[in-house]
Structure 1
């Protein structure tokens, strides 16, 4: 049985139907273009989830086209991107800094050992583990907030990221998609600025 020769929507080269991903929007993607998309998403989480024509590509089918090393990195980046930024837990060892999962917050503390460097991490305050001590606010976070206040920067009401406005209007859209007023920090269209 002959398979049809179809065109990849990205590179426009012709491929056998069986060698391409068939997207829900009826476009086709070749293996190399899928791998390039996955590698780009591994570097920039704003590209996740992968889509074509505003329809998500079927993840399980998509992953079958990737080599194991790219597939593993894509799984890891997808897990990180699906965790809200304020709840992300990273290794506090500056030479490591890998994503460890979702923080438990200060309500249910437990220590996590980083699988890369074995650093013990407190899941509550996101710093190095401190057995038998209460969580203290991260000193670097205190310094960052003091600098933000001194510089007049604003904090996103959604993910608590610090944002600087260089020019333009006060309507901000954070990377977490929260819209807010840079002037007062309130959610967009809830203030009189």
Structure 2
């Protein structure tokens, strides 16, 4: 008998079927080829008028484009790509356009499987103190409905994990995690900080002390408290200057600047960072095309640049 069927029988009736599908607990097709073409869509293919997709810049009939809550429009392929990108990076979730969340619904725009993956990831990201499968080769998120007492059963491989130490389930009192304690001591010695929400340990390289974690929690890098609930200074002068230099280095003319011109640009950016460190328009900027991320050092179709650059070191629950 399939283990997944046994687990499925224990799931409450109100668990969305899309979440179960994304966990491979039910087998539903991802293809949307069986859906009939609407008359409005068929007629739009014959229209001479076209509209540009904001992401790929290709032209499409108006009814072939999805329009979110703002004035931009996306073709089906780019919309699906935007959703898939948000599933890989919690800081990009949920997918947004012009600062507004894009409604994710099953229909002609997105496949049932992709919508199911989105709903499963939403449950993952919205769950505090998350538990994942303790088997490294699996690492599947375990929804709260699969937790019984202090044991969490993986819906994919049925391995049980401890909800406290996040390791394999065990009997008796959960032993102390020596490795994690040693790492936290190292973090204290080096002045690293831990997110109060998801317990991610981060190291600030440049920028101000306002930290925005991948889980969207904002906290002070110096004391670890929620942002604006402390009296700590907002930046360190050395880090501010390093950040200003990093911004100037991205200028296409940086190599051709003489010392005086470069210093003037660095000072201008230093003042700008001080005055606008809390402006939401300065936190993230969008650059289309193929770039190298200055933080993660990986190629990306779209590069997001942050005014405070920090390095995630470890995730401790």
Q: Smaller-chain TM-score range?
A: 0.7 to 0.9
Q: Which has the higher contact order (CA 8 A, sep 6+)?
A: 2
Shift of residue 69 of structure 1? 4.2
Partner of 1:60: 105
Secondary structure of 1:92's counterpart equals coil
Moved over 4 A (4+): 102-105
Question: Higher helix proportion, which one?
Answer: 2
Q: CA RMSD in A?
A: 2.9
Partner of 2:286: none
Partner of 1:41: 86
1:23 and 1:192 map into 2 onto residues whose CA distance is 40
Partner of 2:30: none
TM-score (structure 1 length as normaliser) = 0.79
Partner of 1:191: 231
Partner of 2:142: 100
Partner of 2:218: 179
Structure 1's unaligned 5+ residue stretches are none
- Mean CA deviation greater in 51-60 or 169-178: 169-178
Structure 2's unaligned 5+ residue stretches are 1-39, 234-317
- Mean CA deviation greater in 88-97 or 18-27: 18-27
1:169 and 1:27 map into 2 onto residues whose CA distance is 33
Find 2:149's aligned residue among 81, 101, 109: 109
Find 1:127's aligned residue among 167, 188, 191: 167
Residues 1:137 and 2:182 are matched in the alignment: no
Q: 1:173 to 1:23 in 2, by over 3 A?
A: closer
Give CA deviations for 1:86-130 in whole Å, capped at 9, x if unaligned. Answer: x1111111221121124999xx83322212232111234422111
Question: In the TM superposition, what are the counterparts of 1:71-110 in structure 2 within 5 Å?
Answer: 71-84=115-128, 87-102=129-144, 109-110=149-150
Partner of 1:154: 193
2:180 and 2:94 map into 1 onto residues whose CA distance is 30
Please identify the structure whose Cα radius of gyration is greater: 2
